[in-house]
Amino acid sequence: MARGILEITEAQKNRLGFYNDLPPDPFDIEIRAWFVQEGDVVPGTVDPDTGTVRGGNILSLLAQKGEKDIEAVGPEINARIIKILVPAGTIVSVDLRKEPLRLAEIELVETTADTPIIGPPPKPDGGPVRASPRTRRLAREMGVDLSTVKITGTSILREADLRDEKSTNTTTPNMPPSAYMPVSPTILQRTTAEEMRKAQLMPLAGDSVDVDVRALLKLREDLKGHVQKTYGLKLRLEHFFIASCAWLLSQNEFRALNARWYEEGAHKEIRLYKNVHIGLAISMPSEKAGGIFSGLATPTIRCAETLRFLEVIRETERLVSAAGSTGRLTVEDMSDPTFIINNVGAPVSWRGEEYLGGEDPHPLLISRIASGIAFGAVRASGDERRMRVAFRFDHRVMNGREPISFLRVLQHYLLMHPERIPLLK
């Protein structure tokens, strides 16, 4: 039988969650677990209605776009794993433009219409628990005995299986005799650190406004009962910001704000995007972030300018739930945003002490995002209810005219006269 390589090439970048451009620099990938071992046949399933074949999960990995299960495609289905080249727990630096990510040596099977499809392996009834090194490390930190954890899904115990155990186990991580416990950063933490390092090199500028938002609060109060009773959805201030910013960014006057700087080597260009993809800064609990620390996700509402207000509410709430403890973000949910909106839940300003004890604004931007806004907590000032909204942008992409004008229009329409926004009518 013919030998081959199980690999992910630049043409298959969508398998890692990259539907647009690959990052200009090499990026880290952590192999979290293999669902097949050396000697196993890669499984597949047949849809009884359509007769189409879908490959089973081969392995789980964590990259910039979050956790991703890699499914077998094409000749990988029914192939036998000869040698795993990247064991579970390994972190590798990847640059698909230069070379593919080679995962395993495989033995290919010549298939015909009569070739049977090998199904997933049965779950073991006993023996040692199969788990990735990362899952074992997390279990040790949580003080959980893997042999007592119920395995769901595949025969591999995964971090998700530890969550139910954690909800009933209040044991804190055992600290060593030394003054600290070393913890390896997750891929998300490594990526965040690298992107923040790049962001420090960007020529950033910004502005902020402080405005009375009683009109916006009244509109939300008037609508929230109807939205909750009729659709079972919560109405948040974020929904108004998302809908309004998406509508404004689709107008010719502010299209330049829906752009970002791109460079690779000596090549540099500004990419102006046709659709508005709104990224939301959402806190993730530690069990979803892949360790004992909480994380930050930026799921994206794609083509937000085409959505009605109710659709904005539904999609936002879906992403918030998926980033929390009740769901899971997909790689499509984490597709590159073109504009960031962040509710920091505290007073905010572009420059000054009012912003969380620091001079720099909240990290609205990762290195590939051109602009975004942050809005803070509502505070009482006499009879007024005031909020500060900050705007930050990449000075390589634009000067101050469009951002300042955008902020002033947002202030006038959304914050002071929200009933005038066409999308909200």
Over the stretch 230-260, which tens digit does the pLDDT of each residue have?
A: 999 989 888 999 999 999 999 999 998 998 8
Reported as a pLDDT band with limits 50, 70 and 90, residue 349 is very low
What's the mean pLDDT in 114-120?
Answer: 52
Range 23-47 average pLDDT:
82
Note whether 412 and 275 are same-domain residues.
yes
Phi-psi map region of 267: left, alpha, beta (phi>0 left; psi -120 to 50 alpha): beta
111 and 216 both lie in a single domain: no
Q: Which of 69, 101, 121 is the last residue of a domain?
A: 121
pLDDT of residue 284 exceeding 50, the answer is yes
Q: Which two three-digit tokens encode residue 29?
A: 């990938």
Q: What is the number of other CB atoms lying within 10 angstroms of the CB of residue 254?
A: 20
E-strand ranges in 122-227 read: 204-212
pLDDT at 68 over 50: yes
Give yes or no for residue 355 having a pLDDT over 70.
no
Q: How far is the C-alpha of 221 from the C-alpha of 226, rounded, in Å? A: 10
In a domain, 327, yes or no: yes
Is the per-residue pLDDT at 142 higher than 90? Answer: no
Q: Does 311 fall in a domain?
A: yes
pLDDT, averaged across the chain = 75
Strands, E, within 267-420: which ranges? 267-272, 278-280, 282-284, 295-297, 300-301, 339-343, 371-375, 379-381, 384-394
What pLDDT shows up at residue 364?
41
Query: Quick one: tokens of 187?
Result: 């891929």
> Residue 240's domain is classified under what CATH number?
3.30.559.10
Strand, coil or helix: 352: coil
Q: For residue 133, tell me if it sits in a domain.
A: no
Residues 236 and 92 in one domain: no
- Give me the pLDDT at residue 332, please: 72
The pLDDT confidence band at residue 314, using thresholds 50, 70 and 90, is very high
Co-location of 264 and 401 in the same domain: yes
Give the H/E segment covering residue 230.
helix 214-231
Q: What is the pLDDT of residue 116?
A: 53
For residue 353, the model assigns a pLDDT of: 31
- In a domain? residue 172: no
Same domain, 230 and 347: yes
Give the CA count within 13 Å in the CB-facing half-sphere of 119: 4
Indicate if the pLDDT at residue 140 is higher than 70: no
Residue with tokens 């990847």: 94
| Domain stops at, among 121, 150, 180 | 121
* Nearest-angstrom CA–CA distance, 125 and 127: 7
The answer to whether residues 250 and 395 belong to one domain is: yes
> How crowded is residue 99: how many other Cβ atoms within 10 Å of its Cβ?
11
Query: What sign for the dihedral angle of Cα 259, 289, 84, 124?
Result: negative
In this structure, are 209 and 104 located in the same domain?
Answer: no
**What total of structural domains would you count in the chain?**
2
Q: What is the pLDDT of residue 347?
A: 44
d(CA 327, CA 47): 25
Residue 375: inside a domain:
yes
pLDDT tens for each residue of 177-205: 556 666 777 666 676 676 666 666 677 77
In angstroms, the CA 364 to CA 241 distance is 15
Q: Residue 297: name the closest of 354, 366, 347, 220 by CA.
A: 366
CA atoms of 420 and 422, how far apart (whole Å): 6
Q: Are residues 198 and 313 in the same domain?
A: yes
Q: Is residue 152 part of a domain?
A: no
Range of the domain at 22: 3-121
Does 206 lie in the same domain as 67? no
Instruction: Identify whether 175 is part of a domain.
Output: no
- Report pTM: 0.59
Nearest to 415 by CA among 161, 208, 237, 216: 216
Task: Examine the domain organization and report whether 113 and 237 are in the same domain.
Answer: no
Same domain assignment for residues 100 and 239: no
| Under 8 Å between Cβ of 169 and 142 | yes
Is residue 41 one of the residues assigned to a domain?
Answer: yes
- Given 87, 102, 121, which residue is the final one in a domain? 121
Q: Contact, 324 vs 294, CB < 8 A?
A: no
Residues 86 and 216 grouped into a single domain: no
Residue 130 predicted with pLDDT over 70: no
